[in-house]
Amino acid sequence: MSTLDTPTGTPDQPMLRIPKSSHPMPTSTTHGNRRIPVLAYVVVLLAVIGVLVAGSQTMGWFKTTGQMTSSSGEKVAPAAGAATSDIKGWMSIQQVLDAYPVTKEALYAHFGIPADTPTTTTLSELKEGAVGTLDVPTLRSWIDDGAPA
Amino acid sequence: MPTTFVPRRSPQSARQIRWSRHIVQTVVVAWIAWIVWSKAVAGPGSASAEAFCPFGGFETSLTWITTGATVAHVHTANLVLAGVIVVLALIGRGFFCGWLCPLGSIQEAIRGMAHAATNRAPWMRRAGRTISAHTPWWPRVDHILRYGRYVVLAWAIGGAAVTGVMVFREYDPWNALLSVAEFEISTAFVVLIAVVALSVFVDRPFCRYACPLGAVQGLIGKASPLAIQRNADACLGCNICNNACPMNIEVNQATRVTDTNCIGCLECVAACPSQDALALTVTFPTRLPIRTSDIETKEGALL
């Protein structure tokens, strides 16, 4: 470092000498500015996050899962006739069959699911286990396009 | 007569900045690790750590605005967090990247360890100097590669709107990091390994070249009144700030650091030996043509 401690400083406020060779780029501004303490910067911004997240939770907007649960905490599948956008990976094959106009045979045949796969298997398990070719967006499109009932 | 002596920044001030940030980063990484662990233990049904990724909200934004639905794997929490990011960027510029992003913190930790190892091994220092001497073209390449994150941003949001799925998810190292407990070798996992490997040599490689969330914040943060302000009258012209910046911003060339790459980490402020040369400031319009008397002094000195 090309700076020097000098005897002009005190132990409480040591000074640095700007080297004669130093030519820092000049600064220029037409705006006023005020220093922000680092602690205030951090605390205020963390508080902003806390307030916004807590506010959205209070309003019921902060959902971290697509699952719908009853007051007793049980998973609730979409009712019959619900929009296909309600199909989620956590749903079992049986819940899809119950809620949408599609037969088990047609579903299994279309997505190449082995016939012995239980209908309690969730869509996520099918996808993660690479059982057949089913994934949620494709299933939604297939039902929207008029899957055989 | 130009100022010859300037107050030295106290070591406590630098420590306070660094420790504040490292504590916040550690808490966030620990929180995310806890969510990943809970998910692994509780299985499907518990909240996925993905639900706390703000970029999911941006990815689904076009679909949500046009249809009211979200793309797969995105929930309203992602939309809320995307909104929080917009507010944070408007107020605090790159605060999320520099203080909260766990992926950024991990890259930084790896780079820090690599630095520490290099400092202890003279042959590594020599190798580093040799590589730098033989790659004069690197700054130019680095500059061009930085546009990559805007390309990723357009592809991720546009792709999600067109296909209805998160196209970036398959390549997202953040997603791979959240699924690390599943030991799945996916494309995203390979990207994560590449990011980790590059972090040994380059500061925050994903943030610099590919992070779409950083791109969003950089653009929105342009409207923020907060920024690092440099006072030329107290500046030693030592370049320590430039070397400390993990995003390689030329802090000592700026009056206000409004670069879209700034992540608000304040490393430049902590590293600066002069107490009054760099500070985090809020700016506001004023009728005065040039407010700072130190600028006049400096201009006088230059004349």
Walk along chain B (303 residues) and give the pLDDT tens digit of each residue. Answer: 455 888 888 888 899 999 999 999 999 999 888 888 877 766 555 566 677 788 888 888 887 888 777 776 777 888 899 999 999 999 999 999 999 999 999 999 999 999 898 888 888 888 888 888 888 898 899 999 999 999 999 999 888 888 877 888 889 888 888 776 666 678 888 999 999 999 998 999 999 999 999 999 999 999 999 999 999 888 888 889 999 999 999 999 888 999 999 999 999 999 999 988 999 999 877 665 544 444 434 433 333
> Quick count: other Cβ atoms within 10 Å of Cβ B24?
18
Contact B257, A3 (CB under 8 A): no
In degrees, rounded to 5, the angle at the alpha carbon of residue B182 between the alpha carbons of residues B179 and B185 is: 80
Residue ranges of alpha helices (H) inside B43-121 are 54-59, 61-67, 76-92, 95, 102-120
Q: Does the CB of B293 have a partner CB in chain A at under 8 Å?
A: no
SS3 B113: helix
Strand order in the sheet with B278-285: A31-35, B278-285, B226-230, B256-257
Residue B302: predicted pLDDT: 36
Q: Is B286 on the interface with A (CB under 8 A)?
A: yes
- Please name the residue that has the structure tokens 């700054």: B139
Pairing of strands B5-7, A15-17: antiparallel
CA distance B225 to chain A (A): 9
> Which residues make Cβ contacts (< 8 Å) with residue B11, sequence separation at least 6?
none
Output the six-digit token pair for B122.
């003279």
What count of residues does chain B have?
A: 303
For position B32, what pLDDT does the model report?
86
Q: Mean pLDDT, 10 residues at a time, over chain A (149 residues)?
A: 52 77 78 86 94 91 67 61 75 86 88 88 80 79 77
Contact A20, B237 (CB under 8 A): no
Mutation target among B235, B239, B295 for the A interface, most CBs of A within 10 A: B235
User: Which residues on chain A are in Cβ contact (under 8 Å) with B291?
Assistant: 29-33
Tell if the CB–CB gap between A42 and B24 is shorter than 8 Å: yes
Which pLDDT belongs to residue B246?
Answer: 94
Q: How far is A58 from chain B (nearest CA, A)?
A: 12
Confidence (pLDDT) at A72: 55
What crossing angle do the helices spanning B11-42 and A38-58 adopt, rounded to 10°? 30
Return the pLDDT at A28: 78
Query: Which residues 61-100 of chain A have a CB within 8 Å of chain B?
Result: 61-67, 75, 83, 85, 89-90
Please give the structure tokens belonging to residue B241: 């700030």
- pLDDT confidence of residue B182: 63
Query: Which amino acid is it at B37?
Result: W
Enter the tokens of residue A7: 């005897």
According to the model, what pLDDT value does residue B90 have?
Answer: 95
Could you tell me which chain B residue has the CA closest to the CA of A1?
B238
- For residue A40, give the amino acid letter: A
